[in-house]
Chains A and B, each alone.
Chain A
Amino acid sequence: MDETGKGFYQEFEVFSKRTFKSPFQHQFSLLAPNEELAIVMAQENFMRREPVADIWVVKRSDIRMLDQEEREGLQRLDNKDYRNTKGYGYLKKKWRDYEQNMLDEKEILSWGGDD
């Protein structure tokens, strides 16, 4: 075995965004000897066709990931009505009794617009 190669490969996780507006998205992992080559490899491996606006490479050892048990603990119980507008839907009918329209999400988010 070629012992000189043992420490050569470092694990990097690759993130990129398609446009400046889009969020960073995890692509995949790759092996490279350093950050500079990781960026080159990221383009070679994952960005041969799709447009790309920015790239991050992060050493995997610098990422705190969840283990299996922590991930399984993420499952949401279906009891979050009090936290969502869905739990307050009855207001629509109430407001109608007062001859008013409900200020729903669509209405409220439209206030920031120019029109």
Chain B
Amino acid sequence: MDVLTSFERLSDEEKYEHFMKRIEAGEKIEADDWMPEEYRQTLIKLISMHGISEIMGALPEKEWVPKAPTLRRKLGIMAKVQDEMGHGQLLLRVAEDLMKPYGRNREDIMQDLFTGRLKFHNVFHMPAPTWGDAGLIGWLVDGAAIMTQTNMLKASYGPYARALQRICAEEVFHAQHGEAIIMALAEGTEEQKALIQDSLNRWWDSLLMFFGPASADTTGSSKQDITVKYKIRSKTNEQLRQDFFSKYVPRILSLGLEIPDETMHYDKENETWVYQQPDWNEFKNIVKNNGPKSKDRLDLRKNAYDQNAWVRKALSPDNQAI
């Protein structure tokens, strides 16, 4: 092999140029490949947040496993909770391989979650007090998640793209599972119809916030420009939110539900949905673990972690001499 052409001999600028060329050509970057620090850091932040959100997201839904109205519904929501944990496992693996050069691992991810350094998605800080919420989470929160995740199916980072491929295939089941619950209630008694309207009212702002602020002006920081530059995603937060409206607003209305925003309408001339902005200060506050259920859910996660410490200790290969 010609030593002079060896990749290791290239300067950082040349490596960066080579990296960007690969990305532009649609090649996939793998875990051990050279990558710019900014790319690695952005991916770690994005994917560890995504992964831990899957796990924290299972918590509001698991509350409904014992309370689901029929055996079939119980099995359905149990399968969904199990999927979310599986997605978390998958995504954490992707994040962990990226963190490896820093000597960081899953232990650090868990500690970062407990100390608040690692944030989880705004929707999972909210209460889900009724069966209508269980359905609405599946239908619209998962619907919003599908929008953001399919937007990254062609991500330049190979391991993330492959994980998302598996995840999105299962999300289709999640969306239909949610639709089935909502449909049954929408076709039910007046009381049941009121239940889902109530859930929609409760979740509307959270759904708008789900896609993140339109620009850094709103909340002071946004990673969307960097993720677009490195072809991790293609659409901006606002484009995704608009796509969500286009897909879901007509469906929401068709079931006889009302959008809890009187100003909401489609501006044909500008081809955009006009809507009332949620309170972005509230959003910042929620993701700082000051949401209505943030503390409870973190405690639940921490208790499970602490109570199982003995298992990790007993099975740790470090302890085999004992």
> Among residues 75 to 134 in chain B, which have CB atoms less than 8 Å away from a CB atom of chain A?
79, 82-83, 86, 89-90, 93, 96-97, 105-108, 111
Assess the B89–A68 pair: CB atoms within 8 A.
Answer: no
A87 beta carbon closer than 8 Å to chain B: no
Neighbouring B residues of A45 by C-beta, 8 Å: 86, 89-90
Assess the B312–A28 pair: CB atoms within 8 A.
Answer: no
CB-based A-B contact count at 8 angstroms: 78
- Main secondary structure, interface of A, reads mixed
Q: How many residues of A contact B (CB 8 A)?
A: 28
Given A28-B163, A44-B86, A48-B83, are A4 and B93 neighbors across the interface (CB < 8 Å)?
no
Contact with A along B15-51 (1 / 0, CB 8 A): 0000000000000001011100000000000000000
Neighbouring A residues of B34 by C-beta, 8 Å: 68
Assess the A8–B163 pair: CB atoms within 8 A.
Answer: no
Binds B, one of A31-39, A89-97, A107-115: A31-39
Given A5-B309, A8-B316, are A28 and B105 neighbors across the interface (CB < 8 Å)?
no
B271 beta carbon closer than 8 Å to chain A: no
Min CB distance B79 to A, Å, is: 7
Q: Which of these, A28, A67, A71, A72, contacts B90 with CB under 8 Å?
A: A28
Neighbouring A residues of B90 by C-beta, 8 Å: 28, 45
Q: Measured between alpha carbons, how far is A69 from B315 in the docked complex, in Å? A: 38
Q: Measured between alpha carbons, how far is A9 from B30 in the docked complex, in Å? A: 22
> Among residues 284 to 322 in chain B, which have CB atoms less than 8 Å away from a CB atom of chain A?
309, 312-313, 315-319
Min CB distance B160 to A, Å, is: 12
Neighbouring A residues of B89 by C-beta, 8 Å: 30, 41, 44-45
- Main secondary structure, interface of B, reads helix
User: Size band of the B side of the interface?
Assistant: 20 to 34
Q: Measured between alpha carbons, how far is A7 from B89 in the docked complex, in Å? A: 18
Neighbouring B residues of A72 by C-beta, 8 Å: 7
Assess the B318–A65 pair: CB atoms within 8 A.
Answer: no
Assess the A30–B32 pair: CB atoms within 8 A.
Answer: no
Assess the B107–A2 pair: CB atoms within 8 A.
Answer: yes
A1 beta carbon closer than 8 Å to chain B: yes
Assess the A65–B32 pair: CB atoms within 8 A.
Answer: yes
Min CB distance A16 to B, Å, is: 13
7 nearest A-B residue pairs (beta carbon): A7-B318, A33-B315, A4-B313, A68-B33, A8-B316, A5-B312, A8-B312
Residue contacts A-B, CB under 8 angstroms, 25 given: A1-B107, A2-B107, A2-B312, A5-B107, A5-B309, A7-B317, A7-B318, A8-B316, A8-B318, A9-B107, A29-B93, A29-B97, A30-B93, A31-B106, A33-B312, A33-B316, A33-B317, A34-B317, A44-B89, A45-B86, A46-B86, A48-B79, A48-B82, A68-B32, A69-B7
